[in-house]
A and B are shown apart, each in its own frame.
Chain A
Amino acid sequence: MLGRAAFLGVVGAGLAGLFLGRDAMRLAGRVVPDSVEAIVPTSGWRIYTIGSSIPRVDPAAYRLTIDGAVERPVAYTLADLRALPRVEQVSDFHCVTGWSVDDVRWAGVRFRDLLAGAGIRPDARALRLVSGEVPYDDTLTLSQAFAPDALLALDMDGAPLTEPHGFPVRVVMPRMYGYKNVKWVTRIEVQTSLDHVGYWEQRGYDEDAWVGDSNGL
């Protein structure tokens, strides 16, 4: 029967798509114009927040506090952060829910340069990265934060971060899932233990959020 054949064909194609679809979507991402991509994302960004609105930060009043196990707590203005050694990198972004954005151009400050001003104490083990989106926070061990591709980003794709992407600064940790890439960072607390559990880890995700090697794998 033609109708049944069509029905089974659609179901079969859809089930096959479960295993193939991402490649098709990446292809679509290259063909679809950016203006359409911004409205209906194929391979593009989705914006996830835990609060009731996107945090709006006044750039003039903004301070990034670095405290905890440091020699001298500091509070950087946005201009201070822009005066620190600037690096650029191109890396992929992976969300734990299954979508990715390839080849994002980031620019910002390495954590080693960022923390140098405060002077981390010898017993420091981890960073607690606190978001302006209360109560979101997450942690990186010091060695994770000092990875060669870990960054506190100020710019994305050649322009300052926009509010949905974490203006004024966000964490970029490309080999870990997006929930480690804290947006709207207002405070970095240097910790002497690895005990603190981040927002999504309290809700079941893995602490060490390696892409392709965590959360069940």
Chain B
Amino acid sequence: MVRRFGRTERALHWVHATGFLAMLATGLVLYLPVLSEAIARRNLVKNLHLFSAVAWAIAILLVVALGDRRRLAADWREIETIDADDRRWLRGRRAPQGRFNAGQKVNTLLTVAFALLFVVSGFFLWLGERDHRFLLDGTGTVHETLTLVSVGLLAGHLYLAVIHPSTRHALRGITTGDVREDWAREHHRKWTEAERGL
């Protein structure tokens, strides 16, 4: 086995996943008429949604503040770098990949960008309802569009992590931290070669 994800990375992943699912569940009840009608209790659900948002933000900040920030910064640099192999990979050709493949890079870039936009649009939804000087025209639209696209991303992410036979071993990496060496060589060759100093 080789170590793919450290404790900070795994904590960040699962804190974000838990927060996202809590906000998604409560948010869909607020948003979709069929769920609003079935569950009602809007005040309660709205408070749960806001509470999950605040709890999520605090937990994310705590992980970053108390965790291995150098490691997270290195991850982010790697994720921001879409090289020639990544572009080939994204066009559907075979190309050797680093510790994050190009799809994971795109997914992470979108997830972080969406998290920031969810925070900003959610804050203005909350504030604008109370003070219409801050009720920006597209706040709800942005928050809802982010939700719909995120659900699509999550569906693809879950398929690859849980169902697809050749990729689902990655789930082990994000839960225990370790992946099989042969799997890593096949899926993340540039990473394993760099680790062995090749």
A binds B: yes
A residues touching B (Cβ–Cβ < 8 Å)? 1-4, 6-7, 10-11, 14-15, 17-25, 38-41, 44-54, 96-99, 164, 204, 212, 214-217
B91 interface contact, C-beta 8 A: no
**How long is the Cα–Cα vector from A187 to B15 in the complex, in angstroms?**
49
Contact of B137 among A3, A20, A96, A164 (CB under 8 A): A20
Residues B109 and A40 in contact, CB atoms below 8 Å apart: no
What residues on B are CB-neighbors of A48 within 8 Å?
Answer: 36, 42
8 Å CB contacts to A: which residues of B74-103? 79-82, 87
CB distance from A17 to the nearest CB of B (A): 4
Q: Decide if the interface of chain B is mainly helix, strand, loop or mixed.
A: helix
* Also in contact, A99 and B140, with CB within 8 A (given A14-B117, A18-B121): yes
**How long is the Cα–Cα vector from A212 to B137 in the complex, in angstroms?**
12
**How long is the Cα–Cα vector from A76 to B66 in the complex, in angstroms?**
66
**How long is the Cα–Cα vector from A38 to B31 in the complex, in angstroms?**
11
Q: Which of B41, B135, B137 has most A Cβ within 10 Å?
A: B137
B residues touching A (Cβ–Cβ < 8 Å)? 30-34, 36-37, 40-43, 79-82, 87, 105-106, 109-110, 112-114, 116-117, 120-121, 124-125, 128-142, 145-146, 148
Residues B37 and A18 in contact, CB atoms below 8 Å apart: no
Closest to A48 in B: B42
**How long is the Cα–Cα vector from A23 to B87 in the complex, in angstroms?**
35
Can you list 15 A-B contacts with CB-CB less than 8 angstroms, sorted by A residue number? A3-B81, A3-B109, A6-B82, A11-B113, A11-B117, A14-B114, A17-B145, A20-B137, A23-B137, A24-B138, A47-B36, A49-B42, A50-B42, A98-B135, A217-B132
**How long is the Cα–Cα vector from A33 to B86 in the complex, in angstroms?**
38
Residues A18 and B80 in contact, CB atoms below 8 Å apart: no
Residues B31 and A46 in contact, CB atoms below 8 Å apart: yes
What residues on B are CB-neighbors of A25 within 8 Å?
Answer: 138, 140-141
Residues B136 and A19 in contact, CB atoms below 8 Å apart: yes
**How long is the Cα–Cα vector from A14 to B112 in the complex, in angstroms?**
13
What residues on A are CB-neighbors of B146 within 8 Å?
Answer: 14
What residues on A are CB-neighbors of B109 within 8 Å?
Answer: 3, 6-7, 10
Residues B41 and A51 in contact, CB atoms below 8 Å apart: yes
CB distance from A167 to the nearest CB of B (A): 12
CB distance from B86 to the nearest CB of A (A): 8
**20 additional A-B residue pairs with CB within 8 Å, beyond A22-B141, A38-B34:** A1-B82, A10-B113, A10-B117, A11-B117, A14-B116, A14-B142, A18-B121, A21-B139, A21-B140, A22-B137, A38-B33, A40-B32, A49-B41, A50-B42, A51-B40, A52-B40, A53-B40, A54-B40, A97-B125, A215-B130
**How long is the Cα–Cα vector from A214 to B37 in the complex, in angstroms?**
28
Contact of A98 among B31, B36, B40, B125 (CB under 8 A): B125
What residues on B are CB-neighbors of A1 within 8 Å?
Answer: 80-82
**How long is the Cα–Cα vector from A50 to B44 in the complex, in angstroms?**
9
CB distance from A66 to the nearest CB of B (A): 28
What residues on B are CB-neighbors of A14 within 8 Å?
Answer: 113-114, 116-117, 120-121, 142, 146
CB distance from B195 to the nearest CB of A (A): 22
Residues A96 and B129 in contact, CB atoms below 8 Å apart: yes
CB distance from A55 to the nearest CB of B (A): 10
